[in-house]
Amino acid sequence: MAINVNLDMMLVKRKMSLTELSERMNITMTNLSILKTGKARAIRFSTLEALCRELQCQPGDLLEYTSAPSENN
Amino acid sequence: MFTLLKKRPVRKVRQMLDAALFGGAAFMLLTLIFIASHSAGYSERFPDTHWPVKLMFKGFSHIPLTQVDIHQPAGSQMYIEAQPSSVYLSVVRERKNGILLGFELAWLILTVGTFFFIVYLLRKIFIPMDSNEFFDQKTPARLRMLGWVIIVTSLARSLVTYCYGLYASSLVNNIPEAARAVIPDPVGRPVTPFIEPVVDIAPFTLFFGLVMFALAIAFQKGLDLKHEQSLTV
């Protein structure tokens, strides 16, 4: 998929672990892993809202468009 | 009954399939007993090397195979279609006829084998549904297989039926007319029966097979949607 999720980068910037984020967002680790590894096919606005709220960022900071499709496509 | 179905619909269907499986086994056993007793009866009637070729027509046996037409012996254009219940030919041949028996056996194996295989496939389809897994990975493939089994078996049965009729007609029609059974027509004139093989294709069965393919496509779409849903965060 040509949309990359920069969750790793934002977690490093905020010095937060995946477990902590999942607890704060009240979302399973499995779903966060799907998002982090780029396997996700879609993301709900509610999830995006929670991510932006907890990581204190904009959707554009998390999502990035690249013209070359990744291997997960 | 309604409450039971409402509570555990899939389990109920599985119980019904189990009952069908058991019923099928009983049916096969009864059929084999019937064939064995039938053959024994003929052997008693013809104890020497002469063995009857029993030609089973529509309405007489489990094989709806041949259409019996009665024509005027002089080649007249008059055409009389006999009532199945009024026509019965028993031709004594000089040797045992294993070919006709082989056709009957092939037909029986196709029928009984298909029945058991369909029940087996249906069970495989319903078992995942028992644990609320309606879109199992293998369900579309099983439905496609079910469709192929229904279509191929239907065509194979038609082929066996046609070959049986063809062979039976070659046996009966080559017998001199004088030696054949003479059955009076409705106005009492003697006529000579002969056999004409028919292509007995069941269109409804073929349609049912195609419905299975449509169901397989629907289940495949469901599986794809389920996959998409599982990757939606």
Task: Give yes or no for A35 touching B (CB within 8 A).
Answer: yes
For residue B135, what are its two tokens?
Answer: 């879109």
CA distance B225 to B135: 10
Closest alpha carbon within chain A to B225 = A41
Confidence band, pLDDT 50/70/90 cuts, at residue B188: low
Task: Give yes or no for A62 touching B (CB within 8 A).
Answer: no
Residue B140's SS3 state is helix
The pLDDT value recorded for residue A50 is: 92
Query: What pTM was computed for the model?
Result: 0.58
Q: A35 near A5, Cβ under 8 Å? A: yes
Q: What is the pLDDT of residues B139-186, one digit of tens each?
A: 999 999 999 999 999 898 888 877 877 776 676 666 555 555 444 445
Provide the H-helix boundaries in chain B: 2-7, 9-45, 98-130, 139-173, 203-230
| Contacts with B232 from chain A: Cβ below 8 Å | 40-44
d(CA A62, nearest CA chain B) in Å: 14
For residue B145, what are its two tokens?
Answer: 């297989």
> What DSSP designation does B174 have?
T
The residue assigned the tokens 């929670």 is A50
CA distance B169 to B166: 5
Task: Give yes or no for A40 touching B (CB within 8 A).
Answer: yes
Q: What is the ipTM of this complex?
A: 0.71
The DSSP line for B21-44 is HHHHHHHHHHHHHHHHHHHHHHHH
| Contacts with A32 from chain B: Cβ below 8 Å | 233
Of A37-46, B14-23, B130-139, where does mean pLDDT reach its minimum? B14-23
CB neighbours of residue A19 within 10 Å = 10
Confidence band, pLDDT 50/70/90 cuts, at residue A60: very high
Query: Do residue B232 and residue A43 have CB atoms under 8 angstroms apart?
Result: yes
Q: Which of B:214-233 have CB within 8 Å of A?
A: 228, 231-233
CA distance B116 to A65: 55
Interface test with B, best of A27, A29, A41, A72 (most B CBs within 10 A): A41
Closest alpha carbon within chain B to A32 = B233
Nearest-5° Cα angle at A30, A26 to A31:
65
Provide the H-helix boundaries in chain A: 7-14, 18-25, 29-36, 45-55, 59-62
Q: B168 near B203, Cβ under 8 Å? A: no
B113 backbone dihedrals φ, ψ, rounded to 5°? -60, -45
Which residue(s) pair with B194 in the sheet?
Answer: B69
Cα-Cα-Cα-Cα dihedral sign, residues B222, B228, B230, B233: negative
Distances (CA, A) of B94 to B48, B49, B61, B160, B194: 10, 7, 24, 24, 20
Q: What is the pLDDT of residues B97-142, one digit of tens each?
A: 667 677 778 878 888 998 999 999 999 888 888 777 778 888 999 9
B77 backbone dihedrals φ, ψ, rounded to 5°? -80, -10
Distances (CA, A) of B195 to A44, B42, B92: 71, 22, 16
> What DSSP designation does B232 have?
B
